[in-house]
Amino acid sequence: FERMRQGLSKTQASLVGRIDTLLRGRKEIDADLIEDLEEILITADLGMKTTQDLVAVLEDRLDRNELADGEAVRSAMQEELTRRLEEQACGPLDLDAAKPFVLMVVGVNGVGKTTTIGKLARQFKNEGRSVVLGAGDTFRAAASEQLAIWGERSGVEVIRHSEGADPAAVAFDAAKAAVARKADVLILDTAGRLHTKANLMEELKKIRRVLDREIPGAPHETLLVLDATTGQNALNQAKLFSEAVAVSGIALTKLDGTAKGGIVVAISNELKLPVRYIGIGEGVEDLRPFDPAMFAAALFD
């Protein structure tokens, strides 16, 4: 928990720190104060829709005389944020739901996709599961290199093709290998080019078709990796990707380096997508299953 609190310290300052400064010693709550709160929520990257939702709730409570002082506003905020996060919460992946459990990972370059895959592979391995990695991002030699290094370090087999190869062919070989080795989990990387949505959609659809043909029901999870430091841009990427492919969960990286952690709430509340994992550092254990109550507590308590 301390590590989490530390990782979220910048977000804590930009969101709760500023709220506390605004509310300190307030004996009376009025519309002006709610307006100031609104500005804080927007600058902390909660997004327009979520901010308006929260403001409406606060105004409503104010009308009903439920917000006597600053302390009451603070608890109302914590309560409302936690509730919105919990609505979309889905807990950790149930890897026992299928064998092999197929996890397809999507996202643009630079968001921390390779690192996230490496960390997940290591964690699953540490839990005693056998893992196969598929290096489906064939457009970047570096991505496949990085995965190979993670694989070597963790004792996980990595299925690779040469640069520029068809990602669906990697998916095919990786699925075959996972079945042949009786692996518990297959994690498949994909290319993160977003230059045209139609292109991306076609490519991801083709990969899904191949996976499903080799392992009926696969992929069991389509995890979108987003970089929290990009704030509203991450929200836009999430919109684009979920139009292209059925995203079932989000991994939000680099929360430790940013004051824009409010984006977690925007993703849950605005896009109705569950945040599965958050990244709060470079270490393997710093990629964690997202726990809404703990997240809120790290910010507010």
Q: Which residues bind ligand GDP (CB under 6 A)?
A: 109-115, 143, 146, 253-254, 256-257, 279-282, 286
CB of 111 to ligand GDP, least distance (A): 4
CB of 107 to ligand GDP, least distance (A): 6
Q: Please check if 253 is assigned to a binding site.
A: yes
Give which of 213, 198, 244, 284 is closest to 106, Cα–Cα: 244
Find all residues with CB under 8 Å of 183, minimum gap 6, and list them: 100, 130, 131, 132, 177
In whole angstroms, give the CA distance from residue 298 to residue 293: 9
* CB of 70 or CB of 118, closer to ligand GDP: 118
* CB of 80 or CB of 124, closer to ligand GDP: 124
In whole angstroms, give the CA distance from residue 72 to residue 76: 6
* CB of 76 or CB of 251, closer to ligand GDP: 251
Q: Please check if 112 is assigned to a binding site.
A: yes
Beta bridge partners of 227: 253
Q: Please check if 107 is assigned to a binding site.
A: yes
CB of 229 to ligand GDP, least distance (A): 9
Q: Please check if 111 is assigned to a binding site.
A: yes
Find all residues with CB under 8 Å of 163, minimum gap 6, and list them: 138, 139, 140, 141, 144
CB of 182 to ligand GDP, least distance (A): 28
What 47-50 contacts at long range (C-beta under 8 Å, 24+ apart), as own/partner pairs, is: 47/232, 47/235, 47/262, 47/263, 47/265, 47/266, 47/269, 47/270, 49/266, 49/269, 49/270, 50/84, 50/265, 50/266, 50/269, 50/270
Q: Is 56 exposed, middle or buried (0-12, 13-18, 19+ CB in 10 A)?
A: exposed
Give which of 215, 280, 271, 278 is closest to 248, Cα–Cα: 271
- Strand segments, DSSP code E, in the chain are 101-106, 131-134, 157-159, 185-189, 221-227, 249-253, 275-279, 287-289
Q: Please check if 192 is assigned to a binding site.
A: yes
* CB of 106 or CB of 183, closer to ligand GDP: 106
* CB of 214 or CB of 286, closer to ligand GDP: 286
Q: Please check if 244 is assigned to a binding site.
A: no
* CB of 110 or CB of 217, closer to ligand GDP: 110
Give which of 4, 146, 107, 85 is closest to 276, Cα–Cα: 85
In whole angstroms, give the CA distance from residue 197 to residue 218: 22
CB of 108 to ligand GDP, least distance (A): 7
Residue whose C-beta lies closest to ligand GDP: 279
Q: Please check if 254 is assigned to a binding site.
A: yes
Q: Please check if 158 is assigned to a binding site.
A: no
Q: Please check if 64 is assigned to a binding site.
A: no
CB of 225 to ligand GDP, least distance (A): 6
* CB of 76 or CB of 143, closer to ligand GDP: 143
CB of 210 to ligand GDP, least distance (A): 22
Binding-site residues from annotation for GTP:
107-114, 189-193, 253-256
Binding-site residues from annotation:
107-114, 189-193, 253-256
